[in-house]
Amino acid sequence: MAETQLNPLAPTLPSVPPILLTAAELWKMPDDGYRYELVKGVLRKMPPAGFEHGIRSVKIGSLLHVHVEKHGLGYVCGAETGFTISRNPDTVRAPDAAFVRRESIEQQGIVKGYWEGAPDLAVEVISPGDTYTEVAEKVEDWLNAGCAMVWVINPRRETVEVHRSAEEFTVLSGADILVGGDVVVGFRCEVEVLFV
């Protein structure tokens, strides 16, 4: 069987750098039914979420919303909400749920476009197509942008990872209690409730 070899004397084509977009350009893109994030200026296309993913996202978002609304703590945002977490090149991430404190809202107001900066809490629900490397990258991006806490909900393992820093996290499951700590003050729920 013949082996294909590259000619070392053949000219090599220069690699073409990707076209970098800004958060403003992402905001103006027409809706085509997909979700997009911008990572260091590079557009990332994501298919619509699957059914299980949607259930888990709404469940945690609903529990957070009821608690936050009852206590006047701020606002909970859904999965379509973009947060501009770095500039030049721009990064716009969209968690599956997010919480922004009332104090932050008072400073920035209710903006029409993407929120400037990280939410106080970002929630990521792992999809069947997500790799752990991709999820770890998102967690790192959130924390580096100033997010006080990140929850990673893993439907495969029925666990929740609680990240307060890049160095350490806690894994909760079953009857363990997920708490909002000093971020979503007073919030508590059993982890298993998220997977019923």
Maximum Cα interatomic distance, the chain, rounded to a whole number of Å: 72
- Name the CA radius of gyration of the chain, rounded: 19
Can you give the pLDDT at residue 5? Answer: 58
19/108 Cα distance (integer angstroms): 30
Residue type at 54? G
**CATH number for region 50-195:** 3.90.1570.10
Can you give the pLDDT at residue 132? Answer: 85
Sign of the CA dihedral running 180, 186, 103, 125: positive
Question: Do residues 92 and 114 make contact, with C-beta atoms less than 8 angstroms apart?
Answer: yes
Tens of pLDDT along the chain (196 residues) come to: 555 555 555 566 667 777 899 999 999 999 888 889 999 999 999 888 889 999 999 999 999 999 999 999 999 999 889 999 999 999 999 999 999 999 999 999 999 999 999 999 999 999 888 888 999 999 999 999 999 999 999 999 999 999 999 888 999 999 999 999 999 999 999 999 999 8
| Domain spans in the chain, listed from the N-terminal domain onward | 50-195
Question: Do residues 134 and 104 make contact, with C-beta atoms less than 8 angstroms apart?
Answer: no
Can you give the pLDDT at residue 105? Answer: 94
Residue type at 62? S
| Tokens found for residue 83 | 């947060």
Can you give the pLDDT at residue 14? Answer: 65
Strands, E, within 34-181: which ranges?
A: 35-39, 42-46, 74-77, 83-86, 91-93, 97-101, 115-116, 121-125, 149-154, 159-163, 169-173, 177-179
Cα 4 from chain centroid (whole Å): 43
